Structure 1
Amino acid sequence: MTDRFKPLGETVGPLFAQLEQRVAAHVELTEKIREALTGPEKDHVVSASCRGDTLVVLADSAAWCPQIRYAQAQLLEVLNRATPNPGEKQVTKVKVRVGRKTPGPTQR
């Protein structure tokens, strides 16, 4: 008789580990973007991600998008300076979009 059922840790465990690494990288990039911004706009960055050679920054309001976009050169410099491997793709564009902050446990 074959063992049709595998322990959940064997099948889903590695997937959760990969997801955890991706989330950690996403959070780290968002923090790096906030640190690179010097004005009050840094408090309005919801998240940041890289898609190919484009940095996508989500702001909590359309009013803050131009200020973040204005800092594009500064953001690109910080990100490309921090690129550890010369073979890695460098970020060349910045897109700023409006995103929503997810409510915390006390805000629901």
Structure 2
Amino acid sequence: MVREIKPHGPLPSQVQLAYLEDELAAFIHFGPNTFYNQEWGTGQEDPERFNPTQLDAREWVRVLKETGFKKLILVVKHHDGFVLYPTAHTDYSVKVSPWRRGRLAP
């Protein structure tokens, strides 16, 4: 005798299921600590050193696609407090770095 298994609790929606089926998502943490060659930032790193002139975000996307990732999440503010966009809420952001205007697309 086989008993039917009934779901317990709420079932995921079709949108939620589709999200889960994508499986791989990459989180990119990128900030001043990169230019100090350290894994974890402390919030004491000088934002003047944040100047990723050789940054190639297209390369990140290409490599992630080639390796099966479906999503990329750029963490724009991490535990060290550095913000990857100019903001009025803190001076610890790109607005006080040489990268304050970013790089124009070719």
Q: Which has the higher strand share?
A: 1
Q: Which has the higher helix share?
A: 1
Fold-level match, TM-score > 0.5?
A: no
Q: TM-score scaled by structure 1?
A: 0.29
